[in-house]
A and B are shown apart, each in its own frame.
Chain A
């Protein structure tokens, strides 16, 4: 039972980290990009390739994971977001980001292969460590650090305050001279780097696997919706709650009910508290 809980928390941490990446991009563009789950996938694959494939030290693998994520974030903004937002208020970004997500997944599958590959051990530790194994606590620690770091970033730094300003009212921010386009580009690069970092930290748990992206896109979105869109603490709570619920559902009822219960949780939260646990209510002035 305890092993199920710890594994659930660790898996939930990956969902939470994905939800945090959603939040960073959403704050500046109001877009929920389908490519979000592919950021950790790319981080895991890049890290495994650099460390295990090229035999380079772990810190270069970390840089590669974050760099690949940041580059893909920039590409997403350039290819799937910028022109769509400039031309239309409709939710066409759903299609453009879905297309890009599919393309990157296929490209990674062709290059990396379609079978999961191992992610190297980052810290010397025996495999008999049980629940203290780094594959569990690395993603948990990272998700908590990411949420805390983002809170500090938004409240203590000028760049973070610009993100918040854009999040509250992009038109007003632009009217006050904030370079909203550049801020949006920066937010996608930041989300990419954080997503890549999450994939790196969780690599031992998930393996380096090309098809991980869409699973994380879905579960990260559920975590975000449950926790409350825009809230980093909410994303953390939503991710952990979803991971635990998945683990407990699988433990008590079997894996066939896992997804049903996860999506059921989303439905219940949306019915009872549509803004999520910690989301702010949107009030339309009339």
Chain B
């Protein structure tokens, strides 16, 4: 009799506990750490990405959250400083105990912060292009959304070799870690394609004039210049030197070639002709002059926030799209994993195939943490920026 009375009590208690747990989970917010260089070097990219991140968080929360759990965004400004990025990554992972970390924005910051985030076991959405930022063994919970540096280089190389059918290449890198590594990788990839650059040089990113380097490249017989530098000042000087020399050689390379700031640095607007950079299919106008529907839809959602008076978008829209996708990937992972358990999130992302985003369609696997497909990269004509997007270079 005694046991018969106790059974319903136990059952009731278990049911009550289960209800409390469910309620607790519903009230338990999903905390997303966002390491963004909102000030300092490369802040323009971070500010654009931030618009996408904010919009996606607002949209998901307005729709009731993910599985009933609201998102809480913890934004930390790294100011582009790797030391700050590491300290803030530690704070987000260990003190704030976030469920996800997006960023940091710059590869240089990521080299320091990614191992810290990995040590904490927090799922990390990587948005730096440097190859070393992902590794399924060292950083099993780091999943990259942006393309890798090799994909940028490969797109530019393919355009120079296959579309332009030119193989006398002059490679110009800068002396920063990024520029040096990129020039080395570009040389290796060209040599693997059977092409040996006719001229290779690394220059200081603050070098005041590049006439001498271009004169040497011309003397070496170069018929295409490939700069690998994210420094817009250096890229502007290179295009000015080419224009002042009256040498209309094609320039093909890094996305910095089509940064809006370049236009202001040029001695003459026509110095931006015959320049092609690695870009993205999602922000490239089709033959009909239209953007992919997902990009166009997102643009209209954020236009009032990023374009003064709802006019033309002047920043590079792919940053906004990638920021938006970061949060949408989190939504996908939480739904697929049924919660925020880091191991389950890792498994869910490892099993993700062809997840449709605005910036790209992502696939990861247990052995590959680079989700951006080669097919979503295209060459763009650098001086065709209109409403945040570019024309395809053919």
A interface, CB within 8 angstroms of B: 1, 3-4, 7, 10-11, 109-110, 114-118, 127-128, 130, 133, 135-136, 205-207, 209, 211-212, 215, 246-247, 250-251, 254-256, 258-259
Q: Which residues of B contact A250 (CB under 8 A)?
A: 203-204, 207
Flag if B203 contacts A207 (CB, 8 Å): no
- Check: B97 CB closer than 8 A to any chain A CB: no
Q: Which of B44, B175, B259 contacts A258 (CB 8 A)?
A: B175
Flag if A127 contacts B244 (CB, 8 Å): yes
Flag if A128 contacts B208 (CB, 8 Å): no
B205 to chain A, nearest CB (A): 9
Flag if A256 contacts B264 (CB, 8 Å): no
In the complex, the number of residue pairs spanning A and B with C-beta atoms less than 8 Å apart equals 84
Flag if B41 contacts A3 (CB, 8 Å): no
Which partner residue on chain A sits nearest B205 by CB separation?
A255
A108 to chain B, nearest CB (A): 12
Which partner residue on chain B sits nearest A211 by CB separation?
B41
- Check: B149 CB closer than 8 A to any chain A CB: no
Q: Which of B41, B175, B246, B267 contacts A114 (CB 8 A)?
A: B41
Which listed segment binds A: B83-91, B140-148, B209-217, B361-369? B209-217
Flag if B244 contacts A130 (CB, 8 Å): yes
A-B contact pairs, 13 of them (CB 8 A): A109-B40, A114-B39, A114-B40, A115-B44, A115-B259, A127-B243, A205-B208, A205-B209, A246-B204, A251-B212, A254-B201, A255-B203, A256-B202
Q: Which residues of A contact B39 (CB under 8 A)?
A: 109-110, 114
- Check: B329 CB closer than 8 A to any chain A CB: no
Complex Cα distance A255/B179, Å? 11
6 extra interface residue pairs, beta carbon distance < 8 Å, beyond A115-B233, A256-B202, A259-B204: A114-B41, A114-B44, A116-B233, A116-B236, A117-B261, A211-B41
Complex Cα distance A75/B207, Å? 30
Flag if B204 contacts A7 (CB, 8 Å): no
Flag if B212 contacts A7 (CB, 8 Å): yes
Q: Which residues of A contact B80 (CB under 8 A)?
A: 114
Q: Which residues of A contact B43 (CB under 8 A)?
A: 114
Complex Cα distance A127/B44, Å? 30
- Check: B51 CB closer than 8 A to any chain A CB: no
Q: Which residues of A contact B206 (CB under 8 A)?
A: 206, 212, 215
Q: Which of A10, A114, A207, A255 contacts B202 (CB 8 A)?
A: A255
Complex Cα distance A110/B43, Å? 10
Query: Main SS of chain B's interface residues?
Result: mixed
Q: Which residues of B contact A1 (CB under 8 A)?
A: 212
A142 to chain B, nearest CB (A): 15
Q: Which residues of B contact A114 (CB under 8 A)?
A: 39-44, 80
Complex Cα distance A114/B201, Å? 26
Q: Which of B203, B244, B265 contacts A128 (CB 8 A)?
A: B244
Which partner residue on chain A sits nearest B241 by CB separation?
A3
- Check: B305 CB closer than 8 A to any chain A CB: no
- Check: B232 CB closer than 8 A to any chain A CB: yes
Flag if A117 contacts B264 (CB, 8 Å): yes
Complex Cα distance A256/B202, Å? 6
Q: Which residues of A contact B44 (CB under 8 A)?
A: 114-115
Flag if B208 contacts A206 (CB, 8 Å): yes
Most buried by A among B42, B174, B175, B236: B175
Complex Cα distance A158/B202, Å? 50
Flag if A118 contacts B265 (CB, 8 Å): yes
- Check: B384 CB closer than 8 A to any chain A CB: no
Which partner residue on chain A sits nearest B206 by CB separation?
A215
Ranked 8 nearest A-B pairs via Cβ: A4-B212, A7-B209, A116-B233, A255-B203, A3-B211, A127-B267, A255-B204, A115-B261
Which partner residue on chain B sits nearest A212 by CB separation?
B206
Q: Given contacts A116-B233, A254-B202, is CB(A127)–CB(B268) below 8 Å?
A: yes
Flag if B215 contacts A256 (CB, 8 Å): no
Q: Which residues of B contact A117 (CB under 8 A)?
A: 261, 264-265
- Check: B180 CB closer than 8 A to any chain A CB: yes
Q: Which residues of A contact B40 (CB under 8 A)?
A: 109, 114
Complex Cα distance A254/B174, Å? 10
Which partner residue on chain A sits nearest B200 by CB separation?
A254
Q: Which residues of B contact A205 (CB under 8 A)?
A: 208-209
Complex Cα distance A239/B4, Å? 97
**B232-253 vs A: 1/0 string, CB under 8 Å?**
1100100010011010000000
Flag if B209 contacts A3 (CB, 8 Å): yes
Q: Which of B201, B211, B232, B244 contacts A255 (CB 8 A)?
A: B201
Flag if B267 contacts A3 (CB, 8 Å): no
Q: For residues 34 through 50 of chain B, which have their beta carbon under 8 Å from a beta carbon of chain A?
A: 39-44
Complex Cα distance A205/B236, Å? 12
B109 to chain A, nearest CB (A): 15
Complex Cα distance A130/B267, Å? 13
Q: Which residues of B contact A4 (CB under 8 A)?
A: 211-212
Flag if A128 contacts B246 (CB, 8 Å): yes
Complex Cα distance A258/B80, Å? 25
